[in-house]
């Protein structure tokens, strides 16, 4: 018999059941809307513990407490419960909550949500209620049908997610069709990791056995999918709800049998089915074994170099004792528990914990086995690193040092060398500045024998930058606002990064005031609030603005000053006929050369200089032409009369 390690309660189901039990105990009884999980046995047990069931939310009112089922609930139902004053304990699976949040985000972004899954499943119906006009496809055939209905469907911006228990092959086939046929598609893999692991393990076992048994409630979607997956790999597959449904006929001519269970199946039922299957198989083989034989068979055979899983039974100052289901007593020396010499055993494991270890040595004479967690952890890390190369997984690590030619990044204790060219930094940059930083990278080369691992930060950064650029170009529009960073400056403007794409702010769009260089108002690295003036997708050019167009400088001037008022102004430009001065940002006035001084001058620069602050009197305002006349002379004291020139004496 082969029992799937992943069979039974997943994290989300276990959490929902424990929350319901705890809530019932603390509140003296509570409610659930429909079945908390898809398992009649568990629902009946919860009912006996005080978790009453109702299908009608309207029955509940102030003072009532309801536990929201693991599959989630309609948003309208949750809103109604809140209005009714009902206390809600949210036991929705975190993976389902992620889809609900994604649906709400899609709503805000003006996109259309696509869920690949069962249209009538409560999880799918609930998640779809968090946005308007969602699309639900049960597989590639319905995707193709929707695309064939109208050609304009291909232009719809789509965000694609999956029911958490969806068969991966079904999801991937569906989204690949949408990605190929549609112009704007985002993919979110929302299949639960535990579901994927359970399905992969079930497929693997089904390919090795003569008979496969799948245990779970018939309303459970993930159990149904397990059965479908196993049927493709094994000729005889039976789906049952409990041990009572087993029959000796299932196992006629069977040499090897497999057993797995859906995420809503409690451990007690799995154990009962396992025991009954063992008896049925034995009966089908016509064998009668003694108690001693059965007892000996129940013990594991331990072999040096193998992996073994056990339960921590005791922690002493020198070792951790582990029950591995064998005749031998098993223990882990503290030195074999962790790579960290300062780590305390009780911080790593606790009595009752399940622990996976590596068998270092078996002494059958003295009846003990030495185990090592540290060595198995090291093996797992290397296996994960090798898998990361094949699957091009993005890993996270910390830069620990700079050395000749690059940097070293620690990824789960493994030293990964990143060449300078793959560091993501400009050529010649000081790589020591990266020390201590957390970085994302891909593994590009592994030589386990030489313990050499090479990685690339640049490939991840380039991919992220490309994705960000596509995101910007897919959603850009005139008038849209961005928070950007000044990347470079020229004499005519600045280039601003708005999320992987650079746009140009012309010097005239940086400020209402007249400026000679962009450095007067900003510098490289500054954050600017910008908006899109225009863009050209073909040439990949974006024109940005900073000036607040909702503010009219002329209106500001007219609300502040009038003819006869005195203003302190800044000289912004000198001409042969006078000087222009900024009265308020965006509004200039002219000081005619005759109004600069109380005496005749040849040119304005004899008295004034650009940037100088002076007091002037506003002598005239032309509202139609938006022109202002200014005078310095009007504020000066009248000059003493000059003596009249004597007439020439006539000869």
- Segment (H or E) for 226: helix 221-233
Here the tokens at position 625 are: 């032409």
* Sign of the C-alpha dihedral computed for residues 14, 17, 20 and 23 taken in this order: negative
Tell me the pLDDT band of 637, cut-offs 50, 70 and 90: low
Tell me the pLDDT band of 648, cut-offs 50, 70 and 90: very low
The predicted pLDDT at position 291 comes to: 52
Residue found under tokens 């009668």: 288
pLDDT of residue 408 exceeding 70, the answer is yes
Provide mean pLDDT across the span 183-188. 93
pLDDT of residue 271 exceeding 80, the answer is yes
More confident residue, 356 or 116: 116
∠ CA 638-639-642, nearest 5°, is 140
Q: Per-residue DSSP letters for 4-73? A: -TT-S--HHHHHHHHHHHHHHHHHT-EEEES-SSS-HHHHHHHHHTTEEEES-GGG--TT-EEEEPTT--
The predicted pLDDT at position 639 comes to: 44
pLDDT of residue 473 exceeding 90, the answer is no
Closest CA to 208 of 254, 243, 159: 254
Provide mean pLDDT across the span 206-218. 92
pLDDT of residue 308 exceeding 60, the answer is yes
The predicted pLDDT at position 411 comes to: 84
In angstroms, the CA 381 to CA 72 distance is 36
Closest CA to 10 of 229, 201, 179: 201
Stretch among 25-34, 289-298, 376-385 having the lowest mean pLDDT: 289-298
The predicted pLDDT at position 641 comes to: 42
Cα-based distances in Å from 557 to 116, 445, 619: 59, 66, 14
The predicted pLDDT at position 335 comes to: 84
Rounded to 5 degrees, φ, ψ at 155 are: -90, -5
In angstroms, the CA 304 to CA 369 distance is 9
The average confidence (pLDDT) of the chain is 86
- Segment (H or E) for 558: helix 553-560
Here the tokens at position 228 are: 């479908």
The predicted pLDDT at position 640 comes to: 39
CB 326 within 8 A of CB 302: yes
Tell me the pLDDT band of 649, cut-offs 50, 70 and 90: very low
Tell me the pLDDT band of 566, cut-offs 50, 70 and 90: very high
CB 374 within 8 A of CB 337: yes
Tell me the pLDDT band of 238, cut-offs 50, 70 and 90: very high
Q: What percent of the chain has pLDDT over 90?
A: 36
The predicted pLDDT at position 646 comes to: 37
Residue found under tokens 């003295």: 366
The predicted pLDDT at position 650 comes to: 36
478-509, pLDDT tens digit by residue?
888 899 899 899 988 999 998 888 899 998 88
The answer to whether 289 is a known catalytic residue is: no
Q: Name, in order, each residue with C-beta under 8 angstroms of 333's C-beta and a sequence gap of 6 or more.
A: 318, 319, 370, 372
Please tell me the pTM assigned to this model: 0.42
In angstroms, the CA 35 to CA 53 distance is 7
The predicted pLDDT at position 638 comes to: 60
pLDDT of residue 651 exceeding 50, the answer is no
Tell me the pLDDT band of 284, cut-offs 50, 70 and 90: low
CB 502 within 8 A of CB 496: yes
76-110, pLDDT tens digit by residue?
999 999 999 999 999 999 899 999 999 999 989 99
Stretch among 114-123, 154-163, 587-596, 639-648 having the lowest mean pLDDT: 639-648
Q: How many residues does the chain have?
A: 651
Q: Crossing angle for the helix pair 40-48 and 11-27, nearest 10 degrees?
A: 20
Here the tokens at position 92 are: 């929705």
pLDDT of residue 439 exceeding 50, the answer is yes
pLDDT of residue 249 exceeding 50, the answer is yes
pLDDT of residue 287 exceeding 70, the answer is no
Among candidate residues 73, 118, 123, 241, the one labeled active-site is 123
Q: Crossing angle for the helix pair 168-181 and 140-149, nearest 10 degrees?
A: 20
Provide mean pLDDT across the span 289-312. 69
pLDDT of residue 313 exceeding 60, the answer is yes
Closest CA to 315 of 367, 362, 355, 364: 355
């Amino acid at each position: 018999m082969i029992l799937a390690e992943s069979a039974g309660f997943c994290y989300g189901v276990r959490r929902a059941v424990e929350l319901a039990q705890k809530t019932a105990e603390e509140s003296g009884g509570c409610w659930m809307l429909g079945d908390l999980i898809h398992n009649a046995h568990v629902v009946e047990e919860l009912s006996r513990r005080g978790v009453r069931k109702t299908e009608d939310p309207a029955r509940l009112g102030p003072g009532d407490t309801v536990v929201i089922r693991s599959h989630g609930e309609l948003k309208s139902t949750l809103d109604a419960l809140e209005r009714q004053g009902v206390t809600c304990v949210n036991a929705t699976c975190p993976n389902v909550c992620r889809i609900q949040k994604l649906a709400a985000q899609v709503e805000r972004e003006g996109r259309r949500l696509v869920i690949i899954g069962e249209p009538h499943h409560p999880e799918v119906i609930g998640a779809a209620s968090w946005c308007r006009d969602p699309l639900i496809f049960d597989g590639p055939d319905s995707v193709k049908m929707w695309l064939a209905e109208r050609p304009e469907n291909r232009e719809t911006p789509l965000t694609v997610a999956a029911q958490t228990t969806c068969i991966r092959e079904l999801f991937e086939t569906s989204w690949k069709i949408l990605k190929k046929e549609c112009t704007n598609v985002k993919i979110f893999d929302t299949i639960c990791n535990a579901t994927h692991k359970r399905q992969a393990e079930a497929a693997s076992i089904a390919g090795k056995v003569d008979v496969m048994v799948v245990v779970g409630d018939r309303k459970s979607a993930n159990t149904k999918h397990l059965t479908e997956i196993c049927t493709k790999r094994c000729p005889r597959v039976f789906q049952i709800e409990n041990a009572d449904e087993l029959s000796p006929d299932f196992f006629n001519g069977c040499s090897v049998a497999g057993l797995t269970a859906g995420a809503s199946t409690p451990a007690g039922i799995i154990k009962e089915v396992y025991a009954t299957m063992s008896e049925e198989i034995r009966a089908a083989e016509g064998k009668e074994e003694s108690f001693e034989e059965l007892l000996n068979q129940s013990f594991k055979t331990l072999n040096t170099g193998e992996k073994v899983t056990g339960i921590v039974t005791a922690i002493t100052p020198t070792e951790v004792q582990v029950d591995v289901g064998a005749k031998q007593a098993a223990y882990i020396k503290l030195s074999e528990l962790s790579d960290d010499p300062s780590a305390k055993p009780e911080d790593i494991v606790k009595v009752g914990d399940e622990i996976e270890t590596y068998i270092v040595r078996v002494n059958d004479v003295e009846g003990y086995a030495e185990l090592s967690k540290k060595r198995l952890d090291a093996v797992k890390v290397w296996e994960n690193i090798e898998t990361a190369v094949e699957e091009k997984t993005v890993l996270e690590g910390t830069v620990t040092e700079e050395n000749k030619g690059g940097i070293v990044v620690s990824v789960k204790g493994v030293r990964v060398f990143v060449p300078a060219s793959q560091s993501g930094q400009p050529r010649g940059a000081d790589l020591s500045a990266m020390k201590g930083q957390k970085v994302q990278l891909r593994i590009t080369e592994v030589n386990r024998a030489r313990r050499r691992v090479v990685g690339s930060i640049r490939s991840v950064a380039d991919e992220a930058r490309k994705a960000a650029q596509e995101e910007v170009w897919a959603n850009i529009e005139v008038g849209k606002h961005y928070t950007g960073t000044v990347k470079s400056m020229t004499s005519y403007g600045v280039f601003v990064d708005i999320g992987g794409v650079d746009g140009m702010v012309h010097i005239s769009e940086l400020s209402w005031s007249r400026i000679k260089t962009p450095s007067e108002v900003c510098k490289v690295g500054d954050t600017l609030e910008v908006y899109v003036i225009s863009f050209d997708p073909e040439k990949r050019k974006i024109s940005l603005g900073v000036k607040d167009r909702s503010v009219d400088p002329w209106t500001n001037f007219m609300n502040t000053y009038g003819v006869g008022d005195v203003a302190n102004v800044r000289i912004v430009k000198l001409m042969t006929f006078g000087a222009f001065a900024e009265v308020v940002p965006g509004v200039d006035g002219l000081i005619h050369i005759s109004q600069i001084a109380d005496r005749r001058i040849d040119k304005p620069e004899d008295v004034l200089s650009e940037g100088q602050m002076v007091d002037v009197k506003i002598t005239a305002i032309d509202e139609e032409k938006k022109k202002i006349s200014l005078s310095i002379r009007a504020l000066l004291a009248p000059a003493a009369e000059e003596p009249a020139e004597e007439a020439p004496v006539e000869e």
